[in-house]
Amino acid sequence: MVTQLFRISPEMYLTNVDGKGGSYQYGARWNPAGYPILYLACSASTAMLEMAHYIPHPQLVPDSYRLGVFELPNDLIDVFDKSLLPINWADYPHNEATQLIGKEWLEACSNVALRLPSSAVPNGFDDIVIINPNHPKIGDLKFIEKTKLAYNERMFSGMNS
């Protein structure tokens, strides 16, 4: 069995899995700066909601952005026990407690991916995965297809364009 995963990025970087993008440079919710990592979502809709953290309106998404679909065997995905999350895990700005979770997992190199809750969805009802690009089985993360990123024209239609 495999799990489909979704990533949004400029097309030229979509299949780059070195993990040395913005999260590597600046740190993010699940990693401190200097730790190679990739963030993918467990559904296309969650990937699109995660995008809203960075781009405030669908009409502002650059034309070069694509939604990439990947597959990873289920046995290469660890699942984090949500009962162990710090109370403020979804706060912004993110805190060191969540970065420590990711850092320890990356350093252990126990698997290719770790499934965690998405802070873009209330109460962590949807998930993301963090990918360890330094894991020896990173090659098992397979790129399947890409599609132009297109939000439904009715999204945010009540806002001024």
pLDDT-derived band of residue 157, with 50, 70 and 90 as boundaries?
low
Section 117-140 average pLDDT? 94
What pLDDT digit, counting tens, does each position of 58-117 carry? 788 899 999 999 999 999 999 999 999 999 999 999 989 999 999 999 999 999 999 999
Task: Please tell me the pTM assigned to this model.
Answer: 0.93
Averaged confidence pLDDT in the chain: 93
Average pLDDT over residues 29-58: 92
- Where in the chain are the domains? 2-148
The per-residue DSSP string of 10-68 comes to EGGGTT--S--SHHHHH-BTTB-TT---EEEESSHHHHHHHHTTT-SSGGGS-TTEEEE
* 158 vs 150, residue with greater confidence: 150
